[in-house]
Chain A
Amino acid sequence: MSHAPPRPAARSRLQERSALRRSLRIGLIFGAVAVYITVVGLLPSLDARWIVVGVVSLGDAALIAIGLGAGAAIAGRRWSPDFWPLALPSFFAGSVAGGLLALLALAMRVFDLRPIFITLSPALLKVLTFGLGAPVGAVVLILGGALLATLGGALTLAPTGIRTPVLVGLASIVVFGVFQELIQIMMQYGKFIGALRDAIFTWEGLSPQGAAAIFVLACGGALVWTRVLRGPVRDRFAGLTAVQQNRARAARIAVFVLLLVLFPVVAGSYIGQVMLLVGLYILMGMGLNLEVGLAGLLDLGFVAFFAVGAYATALLTADSPHALASYTALPSLSYWAAMPIAVIASVIVGVLFGIPVLGVRGDYLAVATMGLGEIVRVIVQSDMAAPLLGGAQGILQIPKPRIGGFELADPVDLFYLTLAASAVAAYFAWRLENSRLGRAWMAVRDDEDVAQALGINLVKVKLLAYGLGAAFAGLAGSIFAVMLTSIYPSSFQLLISINVLALIIVGGMGSLPGVMVGAVALVGLPELLREFGEFRFLFYGAALIIMMRIKPEGLWPSATRRRELRAAAGGGAPDDPEEAAAFAAEPLSAAQRPAQ
């Protein structure tokens, strides 16, 4: 039996129809995203912020990104290695996306939707249609979308040598434009740097000349790196022995850490403040990591331990009528004496929390611990406990810690305190992970009954998990109290527990570097982008959903976790051959070594 050759006409028609449908779907999805950000009010908010003053606003950039993205999504499917067969589908997808937005603009023109959707004001219509009015603007949107999508497709299919520099250049413009205030603050030292700053920035932001200069520099730098430097460096690295490679990696990490540590000194106290907050969340994340990542105990009442640490510190050190020193014989302690006591208090509360819920598992544990956390919040705020804890007024006048005569007043000083505390805590966490207790925790996480059958004392192990996790939170709480010098009960809400849980999930459960990445992404970035504070939780929600769908093991997962998740999802080795090779080749760091 001979195989008849496939009939090209029929196949191409089938391909055409499905290609049409696919590009229609992609166009609809991206169009829906564009309409969504308009209706939710994100677009006007973005539009208020310039990237390049007078030329491109962040809102324009968002729409451009959506257009490019539609084309990139089409080209990313790689139906064909050449660009031209993909040009038409990209064009079509882009026009569909633009079309949805155009429909919205027309609807705004015809109906007055403001009583229902408060953001659809005439001003927004002007922004959407670039001041051209609805009918013309609609056409512009459709055409613009189509062209952008085609461009996006072209860019995706362009060779890496062109694509990377262009993307790096564009990204640099966006970064410099959006964070212009911070960068300007950082560039205030010295005449030369000041002159440089004046050349790039105006009072309102990045000037067009500055943008061009940055694009050229970044693009050129990326070009140089990819074309000239990267190859030889890689070869040289591969030529080293394993020990030397390890040393090189360690040196790289050491340099990175050094830069990180010295960054706040250069960048000023605002960056120091942001890094301090990130550091506190990293501390808490490490603690919750013990409970959730290692021991599998889903604890949504974590904020209670944080509150205990903060209140204990406040009660022991504050200069206020609520402090214990005011009405008992206890003296007012210094911070260094109060901190260990606060940590111990958190441990005790952690153990007490853990006892009632020892027998509860899974999602129920989440809700039970959430209830416990809420109970603590209600008590702390209540009038009932007000004589002791200050009630709604909180406890004020908490003094900053002193070393000798030096007061750690600046956020940068407290950041270094947090850094030291995190280092100590990270060391403990790392040692715990690889200890017997850590392995017992992992056994309990995998299967409680089997672990118990193997002789692990569930009670002891679980209570230790709660207690030690609480210790980290208590430490973070005590630093929080001196950071703010006053604590109010409204600071200890369920939201903090969810934040910490989200950041260890997004960063990668069970992995210490993952906690840091998660903290930077979910705490640091929103702090830096405070003007979009209204949409912070929208990004949160979207980020959680997207992360769980695309990369459930987190941004920087521990090697064990990655393997486990792949196994659970029904695969053996990772399917990307490049990754599998890298996976096999990279020597597991001590922190990532599987517990054996």
Chain B
Amino acid sequence: MSEVGARRTWFPKLPSLSRFTFVDVVLWGLRIGVVIVVVGGTVGTLIKGRYGAAQWFDFLVFGLTIGSVYALVALGYTMVYGVLRLINFAHGDIMMTGAFAGYFLASHFAQTGLLDHSPVLAMLGILTVAVATSTIIALLTERLAYRPFRQVRGLAPLICAIGVSFFLEQTFRGSFGSGIRAYPDPRWQKETIAIFGFGVPLVEVLVVIAALISMAILYLIVQRTRMGMAMRAVSEDADAAALMGIDVNKVVVFTFGLGGAMAGIAGVCYAFVFKQVYFFMGFTPGIKAFGAAVLGGIGSVPGAVLGGLFLGIVESIGPALFLDGIGIPAPYQLRDLIAFTLLIMVLIFRPYGIMGERMAKKRA
């Protein structure tokens, strides 16, 4: 007893060592490890001075671009989770369906020259087809696969979502082939716009703007319309909302439709930036977008966008900034590692994300 007291007088600020469990040690070790890698890597990279301002700006812009795609997909995740408490594993694949649908129209327009002559009309057409396809498929999956699980907790909805994901991927593979299709490359998308003195391709700027506009529209819908209020009510407490006279079914259908639309826009944006569409393209962006949604705070619309942009930037700058500095060979292979580590750190240490409520540690 006296030793404890003696320890306390020597180090009055530290908590009693007897309260440190093994788990705490490991978690602190994890925190310290990550901090060492981040700080050490950053310092190392800056010392090496390999990249100039132009390159860092490029990294930033690429990160914002891919981050905007993540943000658009994350918006869908976050809304569906808020209303249904369901991680829709198939959401990334819904993005793929939109991209595929848009492809056929886009290549047709490219062939007939419409894409070059009247870009606005063509893009609107492509977006419409993509959004329509993805929304319809989202609504179908809700109706056929998720509706029976409205009341059921546990694993069944998650497994069903995984099943839907496989099903969508394979349907598209079987119908359209496993080869890669490429979106057309119209000249006007490659023109650069000068921002802060550096040239940025127009298409990337458009994607970021699209994400921001979508977020704004979504935010307005959720905060200012009756349906949005109903959505917020249902995500707060579905039973109470039903008692208040809200048609929960309609709200859920609306939410899925909205999420599907977002995914469709995301698909077209992704496809115009990265050009390659194939049946499996939605899987990894889907998982990363979910990470982004968690990062920003599940249930929060601005949070999803912030999370998406942040994740994109970290993915883009991370290997160069952290891993390169500590001398890891071939750091770009480990990009996914950075993304997943970020996701796990968020889930462990700040589960409510940047802007969301405490969801992960509550009864899910």
Q: Which residues of A contact B (CB under 8 A)?
A: 36, 39-42, 116-119, 292, 298, 352, 355-364, 366-368, 370-372, 374-375, 378-379, 381-384, 459, 498, 501-502, 505, 509, 534-535, 537-538, 540-545, 548-549, 552, 568-569
Contacts and interface: CB of A to CB of B under 8 A. Distances in A.
Contacts of B155: 292, 298, 505, 509
A379 B361 CA distance: 29
Nearest to A373: B340
A526 to B, nearest CB: 13
A375 B337 contact: yes
Interface stretch (B20-28, B120-128, B225-233): B20-28
A355 B291 CA distance: 20
B330 A384 contact: yes
B278 to A, nearest CB: 13
B148 interface: yes
B175 interface: yes
B39 to A, nearest CB: 19
A384 B334 contact: yes
Given A298-B158, A357-B347, 11 more contacts: A39-B174, A40-B170, A40-B171, A360-B361, A361-B361, A368-B348, A371-B291, A371-B343, A541-B168, A548-B149, A548-B159
Contact of A375 (B21, B156, B340): B340
A568 B152 contact: yes
B84 to A, nearest CB: 11
Contact of B159 (A118, A384, A505): A505
Nearest to A359: B361
A542 B166 CA distance: 8
A469 B328 CA distance: 33
24 contacts: A40-B174, A355-B23, A356-B26, A356-B344, A363-B87, A364-B359, A367-B287, A371-B340, A374-B337, A378-B337, A379-B337, A383-B333, A502-B162, A505-B156, A509-B155, A538-B167, A541-B162, A543-B163, A544-B162, A545-B163, A548-B156, A548-B157, A549-B145, A549-B160
A538 B170 contact: yes
Nearest to A363: B87
Interface string B116-152: 0000000000000000000000000000110011001
Contact of A364 (B157, B167, B170, B294): B294
B232 to A, nearest CB: 21
A537 B172 CA distance: 12
B164 interface: yes
B323 to A, nearest CB: 8
Given A355-B26, A374-B340, A540-B163, A363 B170 contact: no
Contacts of A356: 26-27, 30, 344, 348
Nearest to A298: B155
B351 interface: yes
Given A356-B344, A537-B170, A364 B360 contact: yes
Contacts of B42: none
B245 to A, nearest CB: 23
B169 interface: yes
Interface in B256-309: 287, 290-291, 294
A367 B343 contact: yes
Nearest to A445: B154
B152 A569 contact: yes
Given A364-B294, A367-B291, A116 B162 contact: no
Nearest to A447: B363
Say whether chain A's binding surface is mostly helix, strand, loop, or mixed: helix
A119 B174 contact: yes
B289 to A, nearest CB: 11
Contact of B174 (A363, A381, A538): A538
Q: Is the interface of B mostly helix, strand, loop or mixed?
A: helix
Rank and list the top 8 A-B pairs by shortest CB-CB distance, nearest first.
A362-B364, A544-B163, A541-B166, A541-B167, A40-B174, A371-B340, A538-B170, A383-B330
A378 B333 CA distance: 8
Contacts of B337: 374-375, 378-379
B165 interface: yes
Contacts of B85: 363
Contacts of B177: 118
B336 interface: yes
B344 A371 contact: yes
A542 B163 contact: yes
Interface string B345-364: 00110010000000111111
A562 to B, nearest CB: 14
B220 to A, nearest CB: 28
B56 interface: no
Contacts of B361: 359-361
A544 B290 contact: no
A382 B334 contact: yes
B104 A366 contact: no
Contacts of A569: 152
Nearest to B154: A568
A375 B336 CA distance: 8
A360 B163 CA distance: 24
A103 to B, nearest CB: 17
Nearest to A355: B26
Contacts of B175: 39-41, 117-119
Contacts of B158: 298, 363, 366
A364 B347 CA distance: 8
B360 A501 contact: no
A367 B159 CA distance: 13
A36 B333 CA distance: 39
